[in-house]
Structure 1
Amino acid sequence: MKKITGFILLLVSTAASAQTGGAKAIVTRYHNIFNAPPVKTPGTVAVDAPLLGNGYTAAAMAGPPEAQYYYLARNDFWRLKSGFNESYPAVLGRLSICFPALKGAAYRVVQDLYTATTKSSFIKEATAVQLTSILSAAEDMLLITVTNTGATALEGNMALELPGKDQFHINPPLENKFEDVVHKGTDKTGAVWIERGFAKDVDLPTKATAACKLVGNDRQTLSVLPGQTVYLACAFSGNFKSKDPLSSVLHRVNSFTIAAFNKMTAQHQAWWNDYWNKSFVHIGDSITEHQYYRSLYNMAACSRDPRFPPGIFGSWVTREIPAWNGDYHLNYNYSAPFYALYGANRLEQALPYEAPLLGFIKRGRYYSQKITGISQGILYPVGIGPLGIETTRKNALMEKCRPGYIKSGEAEDEGLFFGQKSNAAYGAVNLSMQFYRTYDKTFTQRVYPYIKAVALFWEKYLKKENGRYIIENDAIHEGTIGTLNPVLSLGLVPMVLKTAIDMSTFLGVDKTLRSSWQGKADSLAGYTTQEREGRTVFRYSEKGTAWWGDNTLGIQHIYPAGAIGLNSDPGLLKVAHNTIDAMRRWKDFNGSNSFFPAAVRVGYDADTILKELHAYSLHTYPNGFQLNNPHGIENCSTVPNTINEMLCMGHQGVLRVFAVWPKNKDAAFTNIRSEGAFLISSAIRNKEVQYLKIISEQGRTVTLQNPWPGKELVIRSNKRRDFRGSGNRVLIPTSKGETLSILPLPESKVPRVALLPKG
C-alpha cells in the first residue's frame, strides 16, 4: 500500500499549498476602514459605527476627532418586565476621550479583523494622536492605548458617563423613560465608575457596572507628550456575573498593570487567531470575501454569553428604547443571524441561541393550552426576551397605543401572534441545524424538550381533510389572519417532526411517538402553485395570501426549513427555480439572508448567485451592516452562509463539494461543518477538484457525491488501511476521530484495493 499512500500525500500536499498560511494569510488582508465620523450613532436601529465586542460587552465608536465616544452596552443588561414596550436591552453609558486641539483634524479609523484591533488616527498639522482599542476576548475589559504621534503635546481628558440625552428615545405614550437606578463616582485611586440598573416595577432586577482608570495613574486628565503612550483600562460586570459587580470592576482596574495590559492583549489576539482558524475560505473575490469575514467578526463580537444572546441589533444598543424593543423576534429576525454559524464551525457563537427558547417553554405551554387547547405543546408569540420574559405581552400600553392588535385578533389572550402559529417551529430551525451538524448528545438532551413540545403541538394542531393533513389559521405574513396551508409552515412542520424523530432515536426515548410524527409528516398537504409571468411558481398559501411584494416567505420552505434540495423531484425544483426568478429578492429589506441560500439549495445558476452576492457585499456600511437597512445582525449570515453552502453542501443526506459553484472559478475551504458531524476541506483549481478531506467527529456514515464523476476514489484513513470507492455516490462508514483524505484513482499508477459498495 506504500504506492497509494505516497501518491495521496503528494497530491494532497500540492493541492493544499495555497492554504498553508491558514486563516491568517487570508483574513489579515481585510480591514474595516472609516474615513468620516458615523452619522447614525447613537440610534434606535443598526448603527454605522466601528463595532467592538467580546460577546458580553460591546462598544460602538462615534464622535468627531476631538471627542471620541465609546457607547457601551452589555448582553445581560436588560429591563426585564413582561409587557408590550416595557422590556428591552438597555444602554450602560459611554466612555469619552477628548482632545480639544484635534477639532477639525482628519479622521481615519481602521479595524484589523484578524486581531480585532481598532486603530483611530486623527491628524491636524503637527498635532496627532492614535487610539488603539480592543474589547478583550480574554476578560471583560476595554483596553485603549493613547499615543501622541505628532510633534506637539496633547492635553485632554477621559470620562466615564451615564447615558446622556442622546441615548434615550422617548416618545410617549408608546416609548417611555422607565425609572432606573444610577450611581457614579471616583474612588481614592482615581478610578471612575458608573452603575445603572432597574429595580422598580420589573420581573427581574438588573444591574450593570463599569470602571475606568489610566493604568498606573490616579489622574483623569490626559497629558501626552510627543512619542508618549498612556494606557487606559475599563472593566465591566453585572448582577448576573457577580454578587457585587461594582467591587469587581473597581478591583480589576485598580490592580491592573501595563504588564497585565500587554498579556491580555496577547491573549485577546490568541483567541481571535483560534476563532479564525476554526474554518475559513478563499474564493478569489475580495469584496465578497471581506463581507464574509466581517460578518463572522460581528457575530464573534456579539455572541458568546450562554444565557444572553444578542437581539436584533447585536450587542450594539446605543439608544433606549431600540426599535422592536431590540428583542428576540421569532418570525425570522432572531433565527437569521445564526444561520451561518453551524457551517462556519462557530459553535461557541451559536450556543446562546437556545437559552431564551428554552426559558420560555412554561409560558409557551400556557398559550398552547389557552389558545388551542393543546396541553402538551408550546405556542410562542412574536417577541420574547431572556429568562422567560415576553416583550410583546398585552398590557395597558398596548390597549392604549395599539388597540388594533387586539381588535384585529393579532393579539390572542395576552400574546401578540399576528395570526402566526409558526414562531416556535421557526425557533427550531437552528436547533435542528446544530443537531445534524454535531450529533452532540449533551446539546440534544438540553434542547429535545423544546423540539418535542413543538412536535406535539403540530401533531395535535394538524387537521385531517380528504386523506391529507392541513394547516388552518396560520398567517403567512403578519396579520394575514385565516391563511390555509401557508408555504412556510408546510416546510417548517415536517422539519420539526423529522428532527423530533431523529433526536428521540438518537437519545433512545419516546419511541411510541415516532410513528404518529412520521405519519403526519408523510401526509402533510403539498405546496400550492400559481402562474406568474408565464411560469409556474409557489403560491404563498392555498387559501389567503397568494403573493407578496417584498420579504422572502415565498421561499423559506426551501431555506431555512430545508424542505427542497438537489435530491428533490425535478418538477418541484423547476417550480423553485421559477419562484427565485420571479421574486428576485437579492437585496430584500428583510429576507436576503434566506433568499441567497435558498437559491443555492435548489441549484440556481452559480454565476448569478455570486454576481448578486458581490453587489450585496458592496451595499454596506464599513462595519458590514447593510446600507439603510435597520435590521442589524440578521444580515451577518447572508454572505458566509451562502458561500459555505455553495462550496460544501450536506443537505438531504448527501455531501457535495462545489455542487453550486462555477467550475471555472478557483476556490478553497477548510473545515466547513457538514451534516453528519463532518468537517470538510477541499479546493478547486483549473476546473478540477484537487482533493477532499473529511474529519469525522461522531463516526457516522457519509454519503459522498463523487467529486470526480466516473472516476474511482482512493481513500486514505488515519485509522485503517487505504481503500477504494466508486460510483456516482459513495457510502463511506467512518469511526470517531477518523480523518479521510480522498483523491481520484489514476488506474495506471495505483493497484486495486478494497472496494466500497456503490451508493
Structure 2
Amino acid sequence: MYKWFLKIFGYVFIGLPMFVCDVSGQMKSPEQIIGRHKNIFLSPPSKTPGRVAVDGPLLGNGSVAVAMAGQPEQQTYYLTRNDFWRLKSAYNESFPAVLGTLQIDIPSLKSASYKIQQDLYHASATADFTKGNASAIIRSEVAATKDWLIIEIKNNGQASMGGKVALLLPQADQFYVNPPLENKFPDSTSSGNDAQGLQWIQRAFVKDVSIQSQAVAALKIIGKDSNEFLLKPGETMVMVCALSSNFRDTNCLQIVKQQIRKTSIETVKSTRKAHLAWWKHFWNKSLVNIEDPVIEQQYYRSQYNLASCSRDPKFPPGIFGSWVTREIPSWNGDYHLNYNYTAPFYALYSSNHLEQAMPYYEPLLDFIERGKYYSEKITQIPDGVLYPVGIGPLGIETTRKNSLMNYKTEDEGLFFGQKSNAAYCAVTMSMHFYKTYDRSFAKHVYPFIRSVAIFWQHYLKKDGKRYIIENDAIHEGTFGTMNPILSLGLVPVVLKTAIDMSTLLNEDKALRDDWKEKIDHLSGYTFQVRNGKTVFRYSEKGTDWWNDNTLGIQHIYPAGQIGLESDSNLLQVARNTIEVMNRWKDYNGSNSFFPAAVRVGYNSDTILTKLHDYSLHTYPNGFQSGNPHGIENCSTVPNTINEMLCMSNQNVLRVFAVWPKEKNASFSNIRCDGAFLVSSELKNKAVKYLIITSEKGQDCVIQNPWKGKTLIIKSKYRKVRKQDGEKIKLPTLAGETLFITPEGGDI
C-alpha cells in the first residue's frame, strides 16, 4: 500500500505532476480537470467599456490587462496596466487610468456569427466569426512572462479577407465626465507610426499630481510594413502589442518600440511556450474535483481572474481588478479598506496561490507613515496606525479632503466613523502567516501588524473587568457605536498575530503580555431575538441590525473567531444568524457569508445549493451579473469549497467536515494553518486517505476522519505508527509527508 501511495502521490513531496481522482474514480491531471471548463461568449459584450465590472473576455498577466469587446467586424481590446494611475492624494482625483485600445477592422465580418471561447487552462481566448464564405479565427493571449498582447488571425474562409489594425489613445466612450465630482484631468498624450508599420501610443499624468505616471504601448504586424493586411484562405498573421510604464522602464516608449522591432515569429513561439509553462505551474499549485460542474467552473475561472490581475509587486488590482475600461471608475477603482480591497484575496491562501497575494501588502506598508499621522492626530495614540476608507498605491490617499468632498472628515481623512480599516487589512496578513510560518514574510509585514496592534492596545478602554470599544462605527456613518461586532472579531486577530509574529522574530517581548491581557478581557458579543431566533446584535450600543451587507457575521469570517471548536450555544447563535440574515446573494458580502456558514457547520446541502445558484448568476467571464463590484467575488466560490473540503481554523485540521457525504470529491494541496499542504478523497461516503505535507515541522492536530477507527500513519522518515482518538496530535518534521489511512481501509 505504501508503494502505491508513493507512486500515485509522490508529487506531494518530490514535485511530480499533480493528480486527483475524478468522480469516476480515474486519476485526472490539472489539465484534464481545468481544461474541461471554458468561458463561452455567444454575443458581443454590452457592458464593456464601463465604470464597474465588465462582461467581456478577460486577459492579463498581473501587470497588463485586456478586456475584449466589439462586434466581429471591429474587435476592440481595452488596454490597461496595473501601474498606470493618476496619482494624487485627494478625493476623486486619484484612480487607475485607461491607456487606450487596439482595434481590428475586418469589414467582411459585418453581421457575422459570434463566438469566443476562453480556455482557462491555457489562458487564451479564441474567437470564431463567420458570415457566408468569410470566416476568421482570432486567438488572443496576454503573455504570462512578458507584457505582451499576442493576437493571431487566421483566414478560415473561402475568400480573401482584408482589414487594418489601429492602436488608439482613449476614445470618448472611455471617459466618464460628470462635473464637479468627476472630471477629465489634464494628461499628456502622443501617438504615431513609422514606415515599417510600427504604431505607438503614450499617455501620462505630469501636472497637478503627487507622483508622475506614464504608460505606453507599441504594435506591429510581424513581417509587414503596414497596419493593413490581406489574408488568402488558410493564411495566418500574428501581431504583437508590447506595453510598459515609467515604473517599469525609465525610457519606456523607446524600449517597447525596440522590443517590437526585434520581434519575430520565433520570438512569439518561445514567448507562448513560456506562457504555457507559467500557467501549468500555476494550476499545479492545488486542485479540486467535485461533482457539480457549474460550481467547479466558477471555482477555476475565479482563480484564473485573480491570477490574471494580481502579480505586479507594487500595484495590486483595485475594486474592478486590472480591467479598467472607463475613466473615472466607480469608487475611483481604488483600494477600499473596509472590506472591498481585502476580500478578493481570501481564497488565495488555502488554494496555495501565494504569489498572487503578495502585491496586496505593499500599499498598506507604503501608507504606514500617513496612518501614524492620523493615529496621533485624531486619537492621540503615537506609533499606532489609523487608516481611512480609501488609499491607492505608493502611499496615495484617494479619499483625502479637498474642495470636492462633502463628507464628514476627521482631520483630512475620510473614515465614516470606522476605526477598523487597518485591522481588517491585517486579516489576510494573518492568514498568510499562519498558513506558511514564513519568517521572511513575517519580517516584511510586521511593521504594519505591530502598528495596528499598538493602536488597539491603547484605543481599548477599561470598563470594570473588561475592555470596550467606543466610537467605532459598525457600518459606514453609524457614528458613536459601542462594541461593534466586526471590531470585536478583528482586534483579537491583530493582537494574536502580533504576539506570534513578534515571538518568531524575537521582537517586542515587552509588549506581548499587554497584548495578551487585552485579548483575554475584551468584551463579548451581544445578542437579540429576530424572527423568533437568538442572533448576534451588530453592536452593544447603537446599530442593532442592517438590512444588507454581512457585517453581522464577519467576526466569524474573515476574523475566524467562531468555528466548530466553539461553545455549542455560541455555534447555535451563529447558525441562527446565518439563517435570519440569508445573504447568499449580497452585493457587498457574499464573499464572507458563504465561508462563515461553512465555519459554523451550517447545512452543507443548503450551502452547495446556494453556491450553485450564485455560480449561475454570472457573466460568462465569472463576474457576478448585475453586481457593480468586481474581483471581490472571485474569492467566494474557491474559498467556500476549500473550507468545505478542508478546514483548519481553531488549530484543528478537518477534511470533508461540512460536505455532503454522498457527494464524491477530491482535492490536492489545499494549504492549511500550520504550514501544511493537505490532500484527500471522499468516495462512496468514506474518506479514502489523508496526505499531509509539513513545510515547517509544526504539530498537526487532526479530527479523525474515520470515527472510532485506528489510524495508520506512514512516512519515509519514520516507522509506521498507529494512533487512536477523536482528535489526534501528529508531530511532524519539516519537509515530511504523512500518508494516513484507517486500519483495514480499502484504498
Taking structure 1 as the reference length, the TM-score comes to 0.96
Q: Distance in 2 between matches of 1:512 and 1:194?
A: 56
Deviations 1:300-347 (A, max 9, x none): 000000100000000000000000000000000000000000000001
Counterparts of residues 96-245 of structure 1 (less than 5 Å)? 96-245=103-252
SS at match of 2:125: strand
Q: Does 1:535 align with 2:547?
A: no
Counterparts of residues 321-360 of structure 1 (less than 5 Å)? 321-360=328-367
Counterparts of residues 25-424 of structure 1 (less than 5 Å)? 25-398=32-405, 402=406, 405-406=407-408, 411-424=409-422
Counterparts of residues 248-647 of structure 1 (less than 5 Å)? 248-398=255-405, 402=406, 405-406=407-408, 411-647=409-645
| Aligned-residue offset at 1:15 | 8.7
Q: Distance in 1 between matches of 2:4 and 2:702?
A: 21
Could you tell me whether the CA contact under 8 Å between 1:5 and 1:722 is conserved in 2?
Answer: no
Amino acid at match of 1:553: L
Amino acid at match of 1:486: P
Q: Distance in 1 between matches of 2:3 and 2:193?
A: 68
Aligned match of 1:22: 29
Could you tell me whether the CA contact under 8 Å between 1:12 and 1:690 is conserved in 2?
Answer: no
- What's the Cα RMSD here? 1.5
| Aligned-residue offset at 1:188 | 3.9
Aligned match of 1:755: none
SS at match of 2:677: strand
Could you tell me whether the CA contact under 8 Å between 2:527 and 2:536 is conserved in 1?
Answer: yes
Amino acid at match of 1:516: D
| Aligned-residue offset at 1:7 | 7.9
Amino acid at match of 1:417: F
| Aligned-residue offset at 1:21 | 3.0
| Aligned-residue offset at 1:5 | 3.8
SS at match of 1:145: strand
Taking structure 2 as the reference length, the TM-score comes to 0.97
Could you tell me whether the CA contact under 8 Å between 2:33 and 2:289 is conserved in 1?
Answer: yes
Could you tell me whether the CA contact under 8 Å between 2:20 and 2:289 is conserved in 1?
Answer: no
Amino acid at match of 2:318: G
Could you tell me whether the CA contact under 8 Å between 2:97 and 2:324 is conserved in 1?
Answer: yes
SS at match of 1:120: strand
| Aligned-residue offset at 1:20 | 3.3
Q: Distance in 2 between matches of 1:614 and 1:101?
A: 41
Q: Distance in 1 between matches of 2:136 and 2:565?
A: 59
Q: Of 697, 700, 709, which residue of structure 2 is paired with 1:699?
A: 697
| Aligned-residue offset at 1:466 | 1.9
Deviations 1:506-545 (A, max 9, x none): 1111111111001001100110100001110000001111
Change (3 A) 1:7 1:248: closer
SS at match of 2:622: coil
Could you tell me whether the CA contact under 8 Å between 1:8 and 1:716 is conserved in 2?
Answer: no
| Aligned-residue offset at 1:652 | 0.5
| Aligned-residue offset at 1:152 | 1.0
SS at match of 2:579: helix
Aligned match of 2:14: none
Q: Distance in 1 between matches of 2:710 and 2:503?
A: 34
Q: Distance in 2 between matches of 1:396 and 1:16?
A: 60
Q: Distance in 2 between matches of 1:372 and 1:536?
A: 35
Q: Distance in 2 between matches of 1:443 and 1:12?
A: 29
Aligned match of 2:13: none
Could you tell me whether the CA contact under 8 Å between 2:675 and 2:694 is conserved in 1?
Answer: yes
Amino acid at match of 2:93: E
Unaligned runs of 5+ in 2: 11-18
SS at match of 1:250: helix
Q: Distance in 2 between matches of 1:652 and 1:507?
A: 23
| Aligned-residue offset at 1:277 | 1.0
| Aligned-residue offset at 1:218 | 1.2
Q: Distance in 2 between matches of 1:371 and 1:489?
A: 18
Deviations 1:218-247 (A, max 9, x none): 110021111000000010110011011011
Q: Distance in 1 between matches of 2:37 and 2:521?
A: 50
Deviations 1:375-422 (A, max 9, x none): 010000000000000000000111xxx2xx13xxxx110000000000
SS at match of 1:91: coil
Amino acid at match of 2:554: Q
Q: Distance in 2 between matches of 1:12 and 1:524?
A: 45
SS at match of 2:82: strand
Could you tell me whether the CA contact under 8 Å between 1:105 and 1:122 is conserved in 2?
Answer: yes
Counterparts of residues 709-728 of structure 1 (less than 5 Å)? 709-728=707-726
Could you tell me whether the CA contact under 8 Å between 1:15 and 1:690 is conserved in 2?
Answer: no
Could you tell me whether the CA contact under 8 Å between 2:21 and 2:28 is conserved in 1?
Answer: no
Q: Distance in 1 between matches of 2:369 and 2:743?
A: 57
Q: Distance in 2 between matches of 1:720 and 1:16?
A: 27
